[in-house]
Amino acid sequence: MQKKDLWIDKYDGKTYEELFNEGIELVEKNDCSVRAFSLCTDLPYSFCFNVLKANGRKDGRGLASAIILDVIQEFCEVKPLNIDTVKQQLKVNRVLPYHFLKYRKYFDAPIYLVFSNGHVFVVKDGLPYDWVRDYNIKVKRIYEIRKHDSYNG
């Protein structure tokens, strides 16, 4: 992936580029689950990397969405959205990454965890924090993320 492909935006002092570079420093590939976990919780990439590794993630490999969700639920409240309802609200046949920005008024939670086939990314305040922004990748599942009241991450 080239740097020009990244959509670089700041959120809480952390950019997607910074997370991407941390993955490069660890010679890491297929680390979308690590970046998504870090962005959902505002925890350091290295911490999220180690937590997911302890939960079965192999270096350079992806991780099952069920495991990603279980781990994130330890830090955040996770509420699934019905994808068919979302499509009806947006009046679209399929949900694409750019829809989060285009139809921002429908997505009022501060954070969404989004799954497509073999990929996961985060949307914060309508902005997809990932390389998928300009691609027609079909969104399969969407989860609203809210930090637990007791969590200070």
Paired tokens of 134: 């300009």
Reported as a pLDDT band with limits 50, 70 and 90, residue 108 is confident
Whole-number pLDDT of residue 11: 41
Picking from 40, 62, 58, 70, the residue whose alpha carbon sits closest to that of residue 153 is: 40
**Residue whose structure tokens are 């990314």:** 121
Q: What whole-number distance in Å separates Cα of residue 139 and Cα of residue 80?
A: 13
| Higher per-residue pLDDT: 136 or 19 | 136
Indicate if the pLDDT at residue 120 is higher than 70: yes
Q: Give strand ranges (E) for 2-138.
A: 10-11, 14-15, 76-81, 111-116, 119-124, 127-129
Name the pTM for this structure. 0.80
Name 89's Cβ contacts closer than 8 Å, sequence gap at least 6: 103, 106
Whole-number pLDDT of residue 141: 97
Q: What whole-number distance in Å separates Cα of residue 153 and Cα of residue 102?
A: 29
Whole-number pLDDT of residue 30: 82
9-13, 64-68, 138-142: which range is least confident on average?
9-13
Mean pLDDT of 66-77: 94
Mean pLDDT of 135-142: 90
Mean pLDDT of 67-94: 95
Mean pLDDT of 90-109: 90
Mean pLDDT of 79-91: 95
Name 39's Cβ contacts closer than 8 Å, sequence gap at least 6: 11, 14, 16, 19, 111, 122, 124, 129
Paired tokens of 126: 């309508």
